[in-house]
Amino acid sequence: SQTIHQWPATLVQPVGSPLSLECTVEGTSNPNLYWYRQAAGRGLQLLFYSVGIGQISSEVPQNLSASRPQDRQFILSSKKLLLSDSGFYLCAWSGGQYTGELFFGEGSRLTVL
Amino acid sequence: KNQVEQSPQSLIILEGKNCTLQCNYTVSPFSNLRWYKQDTGRGPVSLTIMTFSENTKSNGRYTATLDADTKQSSLHITASQLSDSASYICVAGYSSASKIIFGSGTRLSIRP
C-alpha cells in the first residue's frame, strides 16, 4: 500500500532562518507531488506541484521554493523565513491526472518568531 | 471566478444526531466534487469523489450528494459519533486546467 511521510511535524524558527520540510512517498512510482499551505479558517492553498523529477510548478509568488531530487521525494525550502510563512504545510500525492484523488501527509506546523 | 463556498462555518450537534453540510461551487468546466475530513492538526482524508454524472455516493455513515445543475453538493452524516468531530472540506475540480479548489471547511463538533 502507498504511504506518505512528512517531517518535521512541528517547527519553530526565527525570522531570517532557513527552512527545509521533507516529504517522501512509498509504494508508488512517478506520483504527482504537491505542497499546500493552510491558514487558519482558510482553504488549502496550492504552493507547488511536480509531475516528475526536477519538474516544479509554482502557483503563487512567495518566499519559498520546492525541489524534487528523487521520484518520490519532495522538499519545501526557504533561505530566509518571514513571519508570514507561519502556517500548516501539507504534502500530498496523486497518481495520474491532477484531478485524481489526493492523499495527504500528516502536515508540518511552522511557527516563525 | 472559480470558488467554493461552504456552510455553515461551524456546527455543534449532539452525539447520535444527523447533520448535513452544504457546498456551493462555481468552477468551469466542472470535473469532480470531493469531500475530505480533516482532524485537528492532521492531513485531510478523502471521504468521497463524485464526477458530474454521479448524484450520490456513500462511505459508511457519510453520504454525499451532487446537483451539477445547481452546482451544489451536500454531505450528510448519519448517527454522528464523537470521532466525527473534525473539519469537512469540499473540493471542486475543473478539468480545463487540471485544477482543484478547496473550500474553507465546516468545523463540526459532536457533543456527548
Tens digit of pLDDT for each residue in B75-87? 999 999 999 999 9
Determine which of B30, B35, B38, B96 to mutate to test the interface with A (most A C-beta atoms within 10 Å).
Answer: B38
Among A98, A101, A109, select the one facing B49 at the smallest CB separation. A101
CA distance B57 to A28: 27
CA distance B106 to B6: 7
Contacts of B93 in chain A (CB under 8 A): 99
Q: Which three cell numbers stand for residue B91?
A: 473540493
Q: Which amino acid is at B56?
A: T
B63 neighbors B78 (Cβ within 8 angstroms): yes
Shortest distance, CA B33 to any CA of chain A (angstroms): 10
Cβ partners under 8 Å of residue A22, min gap 6: A6, A7, A73, A74, A75, A76
- Among A residues 19-78, those touching chain B with beta carbons less than 8 Å apart: 41-45
| Cα gap B101→B5, rounded to integer Å | 10
Name the pairing type of β-strands A108-112 and A10-13.
Answer: parallel
Q: Return the pLDDT at B96.
A: 57
pLDDT tens track for B5-38: 999 999 999 999 999 999 999 988 888 999 999 9
User: So what's the pLDDT on residue B98?
Assistant: 61
